[in-house]
Amino acid sequence: MALKGTEADGTAMAYVSSIRDREIVVVSLNGTPAVTARIKVTGQPNKMTLNRDQTLLYVVEDQTDTVDVIRTSDNTVVGTIPVIAPPPALTGLKGANPNSVTLSPEERRLFVTNGNLNNVAVVDLDETRTSGQVAGLIPTGWYPNSVTISADGAWIYVVNGKSATGPNPDFRYSYGPPSRPNGFLTNHYNPQLTKAGLQSFPLPAAEQLPSLTAQVISNNRFSYVDGERDREVMALLKANVKHVIFIIKENRTYDQILGDLEKGNGDPSDAGQQRDESGVVPGLLLFRSQLSALRWRHLRQHHYQRQLADLLEWHRAHG
């Protein structure tokens, strides 16, 4: 959300991100709050910031990896700035998950946190301040989601939203078997062990940005180059695999669902432990019926490795 104007002179307005509807909702705050406009955008709008004279609103948008520039005099989108990386780096890639934005004190640069790529994008704005280009990327910690610049423009402050969970020596669960201690009250459940952090560092000079950008690209493995065997395997898979079905079951380990799989490498003592009062594992019967349709007894790593090796050997022998 961003606030424009003041109540004293009757110009107070709020600009609110509506992620679901992909729009900015404009609300008059004079007297009884009322929606006065809805500004459609292409991506999912997240955080935003106004320039000093409140004539331009910069809205960072997920899904499109962009910042939209909105002219507040008539609530019109007047510019869209890509923020994934300086061209030509990462051309054609998507999914940087930009989520926050701030202006430099002199209003010549935008700083945008790219959550999925663990960096801050530095955007040089043109003279109109409605267009610009990424000048470089600054590495951060895990999943940055807020950024600001000191008043003198010398320091940058970044909030990183995630961290490694750290040890859980007692194997505490959220809702686990009676033999295991519950981790909620002691803050030992895995999501509770994830911590945010504040990162502060001097603002890099322009000549430092190329090396920092290269570090971001390396950190995200974008500099990896496929070897001959990689290309051979991928060509074989593309020629023989028509569909890939990927099933995610949140907050369940392999052992809890498939630990008693006779041909898998699991721990059967953990399978089916999380039961409700009737003795039924919530979602487990449904999950197993889903897997049955996919021949779930074959879902194990060694099986696929062996099949791939056999297929590759056959392909080499028969061309």
Tens digit of pLDDT at every position of the chain (319 positions): 999 999 889 999 999 999 999 999 999 999 999 999 999 999 999 999 999 999 999 999 999 999 999 999 999 999 999 999 998 888 888 999 999 999 999 999 999 999 999 999 999 999 999 999 999 999 999 999 999 999 999 999 999 999 877 777 776 766 666 777 777 777 777 777 888 999 999 999 999 999 999 999 999 988 888 889 989 988 988 898 888 776 666 666 667 667 766 666 777 776 655 444 444 444 444 454 445 444 444 444 455 555 566 666 666 666 5
Contact 126, 172 (CB under 8 A): no
Per-residue pLDDT at 275: 46
Strand order in the sheet with 132-139: 98-103, 109-114, 119-125, 132-139
Average pLDDT of the residues of the chain: 84
CATH class name, domain 2-161+196-219: mainly beta
Full-model pTM? 0.73
Give the closest residue to 75 by CA, choosing from 27, 112, 32. Answer: 27
Q: Please give, one letter per residue, the 3-state secondary structure of 206-235.
A: HHHHHHHHHHHHHHCCCCCCCCHHHHHHHH
Per-residue pLDDT at 300: 44
Per-residue pLDDT at 167: 72
In angstroms, rounded to a whole number, what is the distance separating the alpha carbons of residues 263 and 52? 64
Please tell me whether residue 198 adopts helix, strand or coil conformation. strand
In angstroms, rounded to a whole number, what is the distance separating the alpha carbons of residues 153 and 279? 61
Q: What is the DSSP string of 166-190?
A: ---TT--BSS--TTS-B-TTTT-SH
Q: To which residue do tokens 């500004």 refer?
A: 39
CA atoms within 13 A on the CB side of 130: 10
Burial-class residue 308 by CB neighbours within 10 Å (0-12, 13-18, 19+): middle
Q: Where in the chain is the domain with CATH 2.130.10.10?
A: 2-161+196-219
Q: How many residues does the chain have?
A: 319
Residue 294, token pair as written in the block: 């996919």
Give the closest residue to 204 by CA, choosing from 111, 292, 293. Answer: 111
